[in-house]
A and B are shown apart, each in its own frame.
Chain A
Amino acid sequence: MDANTTSALISAGGQLLSKLLGIAVEYVMASPEKRRQLLQEADDAYTFYRGTMASLDQVIDQNNREADQALQDKFKVSVDLTKLASGDDE
């Protein structure tokens, strides 16, 4: 190994060292923020969930009413058509 190669290797090693130090510093700086962000997302998800569940029963009741009404409408029309066909328009 000649002096130039050795010098280049030392230089590369130094750059790697400083890069690794940079990563470590970046992690230490960024990590708490990232954690805060994730914890905030968790809080938001729970709030969203609470809102969804608060209206769950009402939405299901509404679905039931809508289906009952649709059934009533469907067969009411059929009865009316039968009445019309038989000439009984009352």
Chain B
Amino acid sequence: MFSDVLRRMVRISLVLNLLLLVGVGLSVPSCATPYESAKLSQGAASRAIATTALAWVDYDRQHQLDIVKNARSRTEGLMKLTEYRLRVQVPVQKMLHTTQDALDALDSALSASDAGKRKDWGTVLANVWRAAADLATVLKRYGVPIPLPSLAPLGSK
């Protein structure tokens, strides 16, 4: 009799523990609010693109100096520098500015107080991802060995 009561208590205790475990799991908010998500995404994109831009200007400098180093004449050097600047430097610089516009638009949307603009978070965030993807494509197309760092929102695994 006493043993039955104890056994029942153990079962009840285990069930309660299980329920608590599930309850804790469900009550822990697994993700941030929409504003926080957009803000964390903005931070991650800013970090990724700033890192890429810094790596890019280093690459740009070194690549141009290599062209000069390998040039056999002043004319050849000038031609190769001009060709590189038109074919690679200008498109990459343009893409970096496109990502800047997209991130600035996201910042404006995040700072906006009116509800209409707040709804645009998803759209402007999508523009940031698109611009970052285009930047990565341009870098790859021209053989620039700079991978775009992760765009996963800050704090996510």
Contacts and interface: CB of A to CB of B under 8 A. Distances in A.
B54 interface: yes
Given A13-B14, A42-B40, A66 B64 contact: yes
A66 B65 contact: yes
B89 to A, nearest CB: 7
B61 interface: yes
Nearest to A47: B46
Contacts of B44: 42, 45
A53 interface: yes
Tell which of B28, B43, B44, B54 has the most Cβ of chain A within 10 Å.
Answer: B43
Given A24-B24, A46-B103, A53-B96, A39 B40 contact: yes
Interface residues of A, number: 45
Contact of B93 (A13, A23, A60): A60
A43 interface: yes
A16 interface: yes
B24 A9 contact: no
Interface residues on B, range: 35 or more
Nearest to B32: A35
B85 interface: yes
Interface string B32-51: 10001001101110110110
Interface string A1-42: 111001101100110110011011001000100110011011
B16 to A, nearest CB: 7
B21 A53 contact: no
A72 B75 CA distance: 10
B150 interface: no
10 contacts: A27-B24, A39-B39, A41-B43, A45-B42, A53-B96, A63-B60, A64-B81, A67-B61, A67-B65, A74-B69
Given A24-B27, A45-B46, A53-B97, 15 more contacts: A1-B6, A1-B7, A10-B10, A10-B13, A13-B16, A17-B16, A24-B24, A46-B46, A46-B107, A48-B46, A49-B103, A60-B93, A63-B61, A64-B64, A74-B69
